[in-house]
A and B are shown apart, each in its own frame.
Chain A
Amino acid sequence: MAVNIIKERWTSKVAEESYGPSELKVGGESTLPFMQFEGEIPYRPVTSLEVFDMEPQDWPDMLKEPFKDVLGDPIAWAKKVVELGADMVTLRLMSAHPDWKNASAAEVANTAKAVAEAIGDVPLIVLGCGVEEKDGEILPVVAEALEGKKVLIGCVTANNYKSITAASNGYGHNVIASSPLDINLCKQLNILINEMGLPLNRIAFDPLVGALGYGIEYAYSIMERARMGALTGDKTLATPIVAFVGQEAWKAKEAKEPNAPEWGPQADRAILWEATTAITFALAGGNIFIMRHPESVKRFNAYLDEAMKSNAY
C-alpha cells in the first residue's frame, strides 16, 4: 500500500518584515519550522551578536575573550561583529542603566548613531538598559537619532510602550515587544502597539525566554503556540519571534563556571549551552536570535544550513 504524505493545509502565515538599510527579510513562513514539504520557509532565521556600549561588568572571561581588543569601544566591537558574519548587530545601551553609568538619552543616542554609521548597511537592533522607565525616556531619543535606519528597537513592555512606539512609528523603525512568558499578554501587547498605528508587520515579539535547563520549555511551547496561531489566521500573533539566547545562556552556571570537572571542559559546554538553546528555539519557531559568542553562532549556522535544505516530497 502506498504511503500518503500527510500535509496540513495552513490558512495563513507569519508576517514578512524587513530591517535595516539592506532590507534584511525575516518571517513569511507558511508552515511549521523547517517543514518545507507543506509550506514555504522563504527566509532563514537570522543571527545577531551583542555589542555593549561600555565594557560588560558581569561577563565570564571565556565570553570576553573573542572581543578582548574591542570591549571598551562599541564602534570597533560592532565592526568586529559584522566581520564575524552576524546578520544583524545588537547594540545594548547598558551605560544608561541607573546602577551602571546612568548615561543620558543624548549620550546613548550619539553612540547609537555612531555605531549605525560604522556598520553601513547591516541592520541594527538597539536595546535599552532593561529598566522600563529609563528605556521609556532614552529610546524615543535614540529613535530620532537613527531616523531612516529602519532599526529594531527594544524592548517595549506594557508599561513603557507608548513613548517608544510613537517615536519608532514616527522615525520609521520597528519594535520588539516583550511580555513575560505569557502568550495572552504577548497578544494583548501586540494589539495595544498596533492600536497606536504601528503596523503589525513592524513588530517582533520577545517572549522573554529562559535558557536550556532554566525554563526553556515554557518559551518553547509559547513560540509553538504563537506559530500555530499565525498559521491558522491569528494576525495579532503572526509577528516574528525574537529570542535573547546569549543573554540567558550565559547566565547559566553550566556556561559561566570554569571549574566544574563533573561537567567537562567549559569551552565545550558553554558553547553548546548557547547553541543548543538557539537550536531549540529555531525548532519552536524563533526568527531572530540574539547571541553572544561567535563560536555558538557558527555552530547554530551550521545547523541552520542543514535545516534549511528543502525536505519537500
Chain B
Amino acid sequence: MFEIIGERINGLFVDIREAIANKDPKPIRDWAVKQAEAGSYWLDVNTGPVASKEEQAEIMAWLVKTAQEAVELPCCIDTTNWTAMEEGLKVHKGKALINSTTAEMAKMEALFPMAANYGAAIVALTMNEKGVPKSAEDRLALAMELVAYADGYGISPVDLYIDPLVLPVNVAQEHGPEVLEALRQVKLLSNPAPKTTCGLSNISQKAPNRPLINKTFLAMAMVCGLDSAVMDACDDDLVDTAATASIILNQSIYCDSYIKVFRQK
C-alpha cells in the first residue's frame, strides 16, 4: 500500500510559520485533518528555520502533539536537529518516522539508536559527506551501507525508508534514470526488502508546470518500487495518479470507486 507523507506542516510555509510564532494550534490542526482526509499515511512535521536549538525542540514537540490531537496519524519528524528529533519522539503516539539520516557515520550512530530506542521507522538518504552520488551504482552502495548499519542496530529493513535523492529535472536531468534504477535495485538488497521514499516535489523545482512533472515522475517511480513519498496530499491529481498506479501495479484490488477507496485508509 503506497504511503503518502503529507508535506504541509512545515515552517517554510507562511501560515505554519505564523502559527508557530503565535502558538496558534488551529492551522496545524486544520492541515492535519485536511491531509488525513486526502489519504495521508504519515504527517511530515518540520519546524522550518527557527532561531535556537532549544526553541526548535520545544516547537517540534508542540507540532507533534498538536497534529496528533487532531488526527490519529503517525508523524514523520523532519529535522536535522537531533535534540528536536528526540523531543518530537518523546511525545509521539505510535510508531513515528524519523526524517532523516544519511550514510555519514556520525548521523547513523546518532539516529539509528534513536530509531531503535523509540521503535520508530527511519528515512535514510543515499548520500554522505561527499555529497549526492551521480550513478545508480553509487546510490546503491550507500543504500547497502545503510541497510547493514540499520541491521546492526536491530532495525528491520521494513522500517528503513531508503531515499535515493531526487534532483530537479531542469538542472540535473541525468539523475532521473539513475534514481529510477536505484529504486529498482534497492528492492533487491535484502529480504524483506527495504522500503523506499523520496521528496517528490524536488523533481520539478523551478520548472514550469510542476504538477505535470510531479505526477509523471510519481507514476514512473512507483513502477520502479517507490513505496512512499513526501508530497502534496492535497493535490488531487497527484493523489489520483498514485491511486491509479497502485491499481495498475495490482497493489490493491480494483473496483470502480478505487480513487475514493485509496483515500480511506
Contact = CB atoms under 8 A, between A and B. Distances in A.
A232 B1 contact: yes
A188 B253 CA distance: 10
10 contacts: A187-B254, A187-B255, A229-B252, A229-B253, A232-B1, A233-B1, A233-B265, A234-B261, A236-B255, A237-B253
A188 B1 contact: no
Interface of B: 1, 252-257, 260-261, 264-265
A183 B253 CA distance: 8
A184 B252 contact: no
A234 B254 CA distance: 11
Interface of B is mostly: loop
A235 interface: yes
A139 B252 CA distance: 33
Interface string A224-266: 0100010011111100000000000000000000000000000
Contact of A234 (B252, B256, B260): B252
A216 to B, nearest CB: 21
Interface residues of A, number: 14
Nearest to A233: B1
Contacts of B261: 187, 191, 234, 236
Interface of A: 183-185, 187-188, 191, 225, 229, 232-237
Interface of A is mostly: helix
A184 B253 contact: yes
| Top 4 A-B pairs, shortest CB-CB distance | A187-B255, A188-B255, A184-B254, A191-B257
Contacts of B255: 184-185, 187-188, 191, 236
Given A187-B254, A236-B255, 14 more contacts: A183-B253, A184-B255, A185-B255, A187-B255, A187-B261, A188-B255, A188-B257, A191-B255, A191-B260, A229-B253, A233-B1, A234-B253, A235-B264, A237-B253
Given A232-B1, A233-B1, A187 B253 contact: yes
A12 to B, nearest CB: 10
A229 B261 CA distance: 13
Contacts of B254: 184, 187
Contacts of A235: 264
B97 to A, nearest CB: 16
Nearest to A228: B253
B147 to A, nearest CB: 19
Contacts of A188: 255-257
A232 B261 CA distance: 14
A310 B176 CA distance: 51
B154 to A, nearest CB: 16
B82 to A, nearest CB: 30
Nearest to A195: B257
A227 B88 CA distance: 37
A184 B250 CA distance: 12
A234 B261 CA distance: 9
A213 B82 CA distance: 64
Nearest to B265: A233
Contacts of A183: 253
B261 to A, nearest CB: 6
A188 B252 CA distance: 13
